[in-house]
Structure 1
Amino acid sequence: MRKSLFFFLLLITSSIGFGQSIDEPFSKTKMSKDLAVFKEIRQKVNSGLYKYRTKQQIDSVYNWAENEIKNLTTYREFYNLISEVTDYEGSLHNDTSIPNKKRQNLRKEKTGYFPLSLKWIQGEWLINSKNGEIPLGAKIISINDIPISEVISELNKYYTTDGQNLTGKRLGIRTHFSKYFRLNYGLQTNFKIDYKKHNANKSEEIIINSVSYSKYYERFRARHSKPFDQIYYADLDYDQKYSFQKIDSLSGLLTIHSFSMGNESSEEHKEYAKFLDSVFTKIKENKIANLIVDVRQNGGGDDPNDLVTYSYLTQRKFQENKQAWISFKKIPLLKYYNIGIPKFIRPLLVGKYNRQLQDNFPLEKDKNYYQNENSDDHTIRLPKKNAFTGNIYLLISPAVASAGSLFASMVAGNENTITIGEETIGGYYGHNGHTPMEYKLPKSKIVTRFSIVNLEQDVPQKSNQSYNRGLLPDLEVTQSFEDFIKNIDTQMNYTLELLKAE
């Protein structure tokens, strides 16, 4: 969620004085030092450390990591270990990245990368490239004799999600499969691929040469599914982020691809507010009874766009959060804080940020610091006078995150809402968000980024909703194989058929 209490000076500085290959040797002493620092950072700064895992579970994963170091020899292997621990916590706002120069060197690599684009369709990983060595739509069974299920399980650690959500990880894997494979397994000369054509009885085997980093992404940009899923990757202009259209005399479609429109003072937010007021005035005047709300590409954005939108789709009083807290009074461990300035003057620069944190989280309870009733997050909001009272059909997908998942979860909590699609990457009951912070490990220069505010969202208890999962649909609908081949929207067509049956 791109809501900030203050502006942090987050400069990712390049490392000086050590090698730039991720495959270089890296000493166990340095690994142990950095793992200890990483653990200390999480314990002192990250309020979400025990959100989805018990203390016993977190202690166990660190014990595993400490023991695992004895089996590691390279920088890449250590980065993978830190990624594993990062992912285990369960927060889509967690991110662990290698230094810029190492990342730039990956991009320069001329060989070693998997050459084909893949996409998850109905439980299988399919070829998403036309005119390649393997036919479009063929199912991958194994790569270099590793079952694809095992490959995916290994690569999941690189794309974090809230709780124990798995659907969201498919987004990162479909985009960066080749890079993730290289990070996990190293550079490969070629790939032995066992695959099966659609409806074939027997599998086939082929050996394909590796390609460069840039060649893989060139092929990904030319993927078969681009006409269908490009909106997820697009840098949207303001007039592409939302729209409304009538479907028939009784039904309409409200599409919101993003809440990135600035806060109350921005012109883009003001234009969006005018759009909503106009749309819902017309909906009421035209006696629209059914409204499809499509947020399948909404990865979040700025407050209060999500809340203003919800005020047109509810009949209840509401607030953004039931509670929100952080785990420190003053920013800890400043010597590792990644702001690109000398350590000795960092306390001077972060002083005002500490005061703002203390103003926003003034209530101390069990050594944590909570917002009070004066916080904007706890402001009681009312439905708009033209708020919709008919049937809502909410379309969701794994791409729905942060402010998008907060909004979707609130709408899904309405009694007049049917939720259709796939589980969201963002949690239903809450998440860690709002304010990102970055730290840099001293030896490896690995940067760890996470959001520090632990949020409990203002949503009702639902019998079909697990605490450690994203928003679960009432009706799970995924794209079919036939619609994948034709780039047809299975979920939208399913919803339109529901409306016809009403």
Structure 2
Amino acid sequence: MPAHPFRTLLLASSLCALASAVDAAGAPPLPSAIAVTPAQARDDVRLAIAVAEAALPDLYWHQSPGEWDAAKARALAAAAGADEAMDVWTIVAQLMAHVGEGHLDVIPGDAAVAHQRATARLLPLDLHWSREGVFISGVHGGAAGIPPGSRLLAINGEDAQALLAELVSLSARDGRIETGAMRECPGRCYAVLRQRARGDEAGFDLHYATPAGESRRARVAAQPMRGRPPAAARERRIASLQWLSPGVAYLDVPSFSNRVYREAGTTFADVMRDLFGQVEQGGADRLVLDLRENGGGSEPNEAILFSYLVPEPLRRYRSVEARARTLSVASPSGQVLVHEVYDAEEMRGQQVLDGGRLSRLDRPPEGLTTHWTRAAPVYGGRLVVLAGGRTFSGGAELAAMLRHVRRARFVGEETGGTYEGNTSGYAWDVVLPHSGVNLGMPLLRFRFDWDADTPGRGVLPDCDVPPQVSEIGVQRDRAWRVARALVETDPAQPAACPDAGVLSAAADPAEP
């Protein structure tokens, strides 16, 4: 059976570069906006609705039928005012964000992205989102006088909570989790999404508090998007081990992607075998596992890592279901779209339920169980896990398994994936014909074999330490320092969270 390709969030960082064509005068031509009529917009929205209703194994996992009906009505009403492709993207993105499936991608077409890149004017701020507030991480154009690190209180009278609600409404997310959108939309991302949803704005009335706590206001003009570089691509790294002190190890696992390990000339299984061999040989009895950058990758790598931390196999999935072997939808124009979920070989691992639904059999190599053979050596010492909004898909699954068996304590923030499972795996990619919007619909419902105390939420930290704007890009940040202090605490002492405020970065030893 092919590996289950966990997918990560795709937001504004996926914007495409403009073509390098030039006109006769030597200047690059400005791409034209893709015009749509309200009738065409409505057809695209109706097709998106039909694909979701035909493909998602459980459309009502994170919403009620009544809530979905109301969301559809709002989307179809909004289509009456659409006249550009990006309007359709906004409508469909808000509709699908309401579904609560973080692997559900809604991406504007290349032409719409090129037009935005060439002509749009943006909020001249880079932003860092946190449970502690919204902070300014970078300034551009007329905002150059605002001190980076300032806390943003309002834009045009809309407070920080309203801004976060807008960000979340335009972003794919699991359940009711906000941290995924926070971490996947750094820098200029909110400015890009805001312009897509609102169009160009002449200027912005800003209310902010400086790092010194002074309340200030400023009026700033919009800045051309073509003057704002996109965020740097995320570094692709394989797992690594560091020794912090005798008996104390730090294991960073930023990805479960087989591709990342292939490009490094190895495999995930081989790297885990080697690293845990080093853990045993070095006599580690305290381990910090960093999953903050782990957005998933390939099944069953999260289970392989679990097997080095928990010896006994765990029935992790209650079920893995798909709606049917073959999906079909008729577009408003009468075109029939057909998608095959499983081929004949894959069907051998499925049982057919009433109504044609498919459910995975509990057979190796994946099945419903974490691992079928014991790993060696298995680490049995104290474990602290660093996690956050980018801990998604397979990364969030591992966090949920470790939480369920009470194997570790967690430091950081809520994971980006829900504690009860996700809808991911294979996807049905559909291009909406009039707007060019790309819709990626996840097809497999991975339901864990346990229930959440609070449905629709991720694994919550034992020690709540959200990232700070002053430590963007810093691995050994205050959450890292809390995790290290926690794992080194005397077992005879009460298991209280160390005070992040008194753990100085200057006190950390240099990296090995």
CA distance in 2, matches of 1:57, 1:303: 33
Residue 433 (structure 1) aligned with residue 424 (structure 2): yes
CA distance in 2, matches of 1:285, 1:488: 25
Partner of 2:137: 128
Equivalence map 1:24-63=2 (5 Å): 26-63=36-73
Residue 187 (structure 1) aligned with residue 187 (structure 2): no
User: Which of residues 468, 473, 478 in structure 2 aligns to 1:490?
Assistant: 478
CA distance in 2, matches of 1:486, 1:317: 35
CA distance in 2, matches of 1:214, 1:149: 28
SS in 1 for 2:90: helix
Q: Check whether the contact 2:45–2:79 (CA below 8 A) recurs between aligned residues.
A: no
Structure 2 CA distance for partners of 1:263 and 1:246, relative to 1, 3 Å: closer
Q: Check whether the contact 2:204–2:222 (CA below 8 A) recurs between aligned residues.
A: yes
Alpha-carbon offset, residue 63 of structure 1: 2.6
Alpha-carbon offset, residue 398 of structure 1: 0.3
Could you give the per-residue CA deviations for residues 252-310 of structure 1, whole angstroms, max 9, x where no partner exists?
A: 1111011112499x686854433322332332344321111111101111123222111
Alpha-carbon offset, residue 401 of structure 1: 0.9
Structure 2 CA distance for partners of 1:52 and 1:421, relative to 1, 3 Å: same
User: Which of residues 54, 73, 82 in structure 1 aligns to 2:92?
Assistant: 82
Identity %: 17
SS in 1 for 2:327: coil
Structure 2 CA distance for partners of 1:457 and 1:185, relative to 1, 3 Å: same
Partner of 1:244: 241
Residue 372 (structure 1) aligned with residue 361 (structure 2): yes
Residue 296 (structure 1) aligned with residue 292 (structure 2): yes
Alpha-carbon offset, residue 395 of structure 1: 0.6
Q: Check whether the contact 1:329–1:357 (CA below 8 A) recurs between aligned residues.
A: no
SS in 1 for 2:125: coil
Partner of 1:224: none
CA distance in 1, matches of 2:341, 2:72: 34
Equivalence map 1:269-418=2 (5 Å): 270-319=266-315, 321-333=317-329, 354-355=343-344, 358-374=347-363, 376-378=365-367, 380-418=371-409
Residue 150 (structure 1) aligned with residue 162 (structure 2): yes
Letter paired with 2:366 = D
SS in 2 for 1:159: coil
Residue 466 (structure 1) aligned with residue 454 (structure 2): yes
Alpha-carbon offset, residue 21 of structure 1: 5.1
Letter paired with 2:485 = E
Q: Check whether the contact 2:135–2:469 (CA below 8 A) recurs between aligned residues.
A: no
CA distance in 2, matches of 1:144, 1:64: 25
CA distance in 1, matches of 2:322, 2:201: 44
Residue 117 (structure 1) aligned with residue 106 (structure 2): no
Letter paired with 1:210 = A
User: Which of residues 472, 475, 478 in structure 1 aligns to 2:463?
Assistant: 475
Could you give the per-residue CA deviations for residues 320-356 of structure 1, whole angstroms, max 9, x where no partner exists?
A: 63310111231212779xxxxxx79x87xx6795545
CA distance in 2, matches of 1:352, 1:410: 27
Structure 2 CA distance for partners of 1:20 and 1:60, relative to 1, 3 Å: farther
Q: Check whether the contact 1:319–1:377 (CA below 8 A) recurs between aligned residues.
A: no
Letter paired with 1:135 = P
SS in 1 for 2:111: helix
Paired residues in the alignment total 458
Letter paired with 1:273 = A
Could you give the per-residue CA deviations for residues 74-119 of structure 1, whole angstroms, max 9, x where no partner exists?
A: 544333221111000011111112221111121222x511122111
Q: Check whether the contact 1:363–1:372 (CA below 8 A) recurs between aligned residues.
A: no
Structure 2 alignment gaps of length 5 or more: 6-29, 491-512
Structure 2 CA distance for partners of 1:267 and 1:235, relative to 1, 3 Å: closer
Partner of 2:150: 138
Letter paired with 1:477 = V
SS in 2 for 1:303: coil
Partner of 2:103: 93
Residue 213 (structure 1) aligned with residue 225 (structure 2): yes
Structure 1 alignment gaps of length 5 or more: 6-18, 222-232, 337-342
CA distance in 2, matches of 1:56, 1:372: 33
CA distance in 1, matches of 2:162, 2:341: 48
Partner of 1:229: none
**TM-score, normalised via structure 1 length:** 0.82
Q: Check whether the contact 1:440–1:448 (CA below 8 A) recurs between aligned residues.
A: yes
Letter paired with 1:234 = R
CA distance in 1, matches of 2:413, 2:438: 32
CA distance in 2, matches of 1:498, 1:375: 37
Letter paired with 1:441 = L
Structure 2 CA distance for partners of 1:206 and 1:451, relative to 1, 3 Å: same
Letter paired with 2:38 = K
Structure 2 CA distance for partners of 1:262 and 1:31, relative to 1, 3 Å: closer
Partner of 2:234: 234
CA distance in 2, matches of 1:159, 1:352: 26
CA distance in 2, matches of 1:351, 1:481: 45
Q: Check whether the contact 2:432–2:438 (CA below 8 A) recurs between aligned residues.
A: yes
